[in-house]
Amino acid sequence: MDFLGDYTLHTYLHLRQTGTARNSTMLPFQEVQSIFAHMLKAIAHCHAHHVCHRDIKFKNAMINSDGRVTMVDFGLAVHVAPGQELHDSCGTVPFAAPEVLICSPSKGYDGTAADIWSLAICLIEMLCGLGTVESIVGLTQDDVSNFEHIASQCLLLCTEYVHQLVLSYAGKDVQGVHRDSLTKVMRCVFLENSKTRMTVREIGSLEAFSAQTGPLPKPVSRRHEDSVRADEDARSHSTGHQVDGEADSLALRFEDVKAAVIEEVQNVQVIDVHTHLLPPSHGKLMLWGIDELLTYHYLVSEYFMVGVITTLQKLGLGDLSDLKGIRAWFAAQDLDEHVDRVFRLARVRYAVMTNIPYVEDEAQHWRVATPKPVTPRLRTALRIDSFLKGDWASVSQALKADGLEETLEGAKQYLRKWAQIYKPEYMMASTPHDWRYPEPAAAASMKPLVRAFAGFGASELLEQVVAPVCEELSLPIALKLGAWRGMSPELNPCCGGDGVASADIASLQALCAKFPRVKFLATVLSRANQHEVTVVAQKTRNLHLYGCWWYCNNPSIIEELTKMRVELLGTAFTAQHSDCRVLEQMLYKWEHSREVIGQALGPYYERLVRRGWRLTRGELRRDVQLLLAGSYEAFMAR
């Protein structure tokens, strides 16, 4: 009997990437070459004998001290005839190919092509660090049962943007023919059509992987139980033989609950459901860097300086105190890489932008036949403030610019057109501070006269244009209520002059009742409205509350609102959004919010345990994920 190795490959990589000898999150490319060449040889041998492994991952490979890698665990392997399709879903997320996850009796897949996809995922993880793929495509443990969602997210790996991102992660030691080999793997394996993927022998013939190198470095020495724990804690989900981590199923001791809550809130990958960010493809419209941070209106009107300090610390610039040096660091960054770095450091899966079609400076980037690719980290939202303000002059001007009739039907065509261009998560608007729905009787009686001079009003545009189009396209409407625009005009040059007013929550409830087949998201600016709107959300199936917006984004109010919402809504709300306009604001806003939310949630779970509930880490992680990502996605998927 042969001894296959001292470690699983997962444990080896975990120790190599986190030991004291670690220089970065990546292995030296020579080491990656050696390991991957062994894996290719093993799977090529399987495929030559018509065997598909179907669960290729690091935990199913053993590695010994001389660098020999052996594939193990053939429990899901099958012998296939040439051209035979398979129809059972198996393997491990995120290594499994998308077609494996969504197969059916009528929709099969090629097992050898699926193995190739899994091997290429292993290559990315070795080059860029464990967990990279989950981070790029935005997968979490709670996605494990939603195979359609996982498959669609995994197809992001087929985009040229991600190919370049992986190459940028791989480092400067990957150059020349080796870089060409990696480029070919990225472009010829991550293809939705599995029939066009490279074969294992074609990959093995590439110069980067055609020769095997010598012994591998021995990982930093650790206690045996630490090595075992590295495997147990790995975030992998097997759809064929899933085993829950022991730590997730054990009951938490009372004295450990508070720390566990804080840890889960700190580590969860959030969805930032509303921001004002724009992608690098939008040029100067994208706000980023130290000067944008320092001149944003928070610093002008509020002197909110702690966030900038937190941001510099998160970026590793805490030792730089001179503005010139900090500017030089930002100027040296590749912008696409920097965007992804910020998202990874902030632990944000993706963020929703605010996209305004009637602002030509932005719209021009989308009007072209082939818009520049946008990072999958950013998703779109179609902003329609003019419609809810009843600003027919602005709406009419937008219709005219797009060659549409200046009528209600033309307005509907306008929204359909831009929904097709943006493919938004939702339509959204910030309502006027005195917004009412339905309009007061006196205002309604004046409609014919008003229309003659000023065109259609807010209620008409909402009832006859916005809501019907949203229902037709299954698009939610996100509302931000209670902002008093221009309260202090002297501060408006830096956008700091807007204030707060108490919103009419009855109008929101009436709108939800009027259009029960339209989903509404809402965030309210005034603290005075929060209890009422939370009760309305409890009673209204098509309403989802999100975030602590703007003047509510203070630690004391975040804590208060989080507690009240948990008590009234459970986990059926989204606890926070960043609303950031400058990219790096995401770092400090989420850092500060996580601290407060973790402290707010702790006492509830301590009370559960004190009363006799057997609270597990898995249950806690599930709830935290719902509060900061999952409930939003569940609401949007209804």
Helices 335-346 + 160-170 axis angle, to 10: 80
Question: Where is average pLDDT lowest: 250-254, 560-564, 627-631?
Answer: 250-254
pLDDT tens for residues 450-494? Answer: 454 456 889 999 999 999 999 999 999 999 999 998 888 776 655
pLDDT in the model for residue 232 = 40
- Token pair of 303 as six digits: 């002197």
DSSP conformation letters of 70-93: EE---TT-EE--TT--B----SEE
User: 381-545 has which fold?
Assistant: TIM Barrel (3.20.20)
Helices 254-267 + 617-625 axis angle, to 10: 40
The domain segmentation of the chain, as residue ranges, is 7-191, 381-545
Tell me which long-range contacts 498-502 makes (C-beta under 8 A, separation of at least 24).
500/525, 500/526, 500/550, 500/551, 501/433, 501/434, 501/525, 501/526, 502/526, 502/528, 502/529
Q: Which residue from 119, 92, 95 is spatially nearest to 189, judged by alpha carbons?
A: 119
pLDDT tens for residues 356-394? Answer: 999 999 999 998 877 777 888 999 999 999 999 999 999
If one compares 303 and 147, the residue with the highest pLDDT of the two is 147
pLDDT in the model for residue 64 = 78
pLDDT in the model for residue 541 = 96
Confidence class for position 167, pLDDT limits 50, 70, 90: confident
pLDDT in the model for residue 459 = 92
pLDDT in the model for residue 180 = 85
Task: Considering the domain delimited by 7-191, tell me its CATH architecture.
Answer: Orthogonal Bundle (1.10)
DSSP 319: T
pLDDT at 610 over 80: yes
pLDDT tens for residues 385-432? Answer: 999 999 999 999 999 999 999 999 999 999 999 999 999 999 999 999
Residues constituting the chain? 638
Q: Which residue from 432, 428, 431 is spatially nearest to 383, judged by alpha carbons?
A: 428
| Mean residue pLDDT across the chain | 85
- Token pair of 450 as six digits: 């008003």
Question: Where is average pLDDT lowest: 83-92, 314-323, 628-637?
Answer: 314-323
For the entire predicted model, the pTM comes to: 0.68
pLDDT at 18 over 60: no
What does each C-alpha distance from 383 to 274, 431, 453, 460 come to in angstroms?
11, 11, 26, 18
Mean of pLDDT values over 140-166:
68
pLDDT in the model for residue 26 = 61
For strands 92-93 and 237-238, give the pairing: antiparallel
pLDDT at 305 over 60: no
pLDDT at 235 over 60: no
Reading across the β-sheet that carries 348-352, which strands appear in turn? 270-272, 348-352, 378-379
pLDDT in the model for residue 224 = 38
pLDDT at 245 over 60: no
Question: Where is average pLDDT lowest: 334-343, 502-511, 528-537, 569-578?
Answer: 334-343
Confidence class for position 212, pLDDT limits 50, 70, 90: low
Q: Percent of the chain, pLDDT > 70?
A: 83
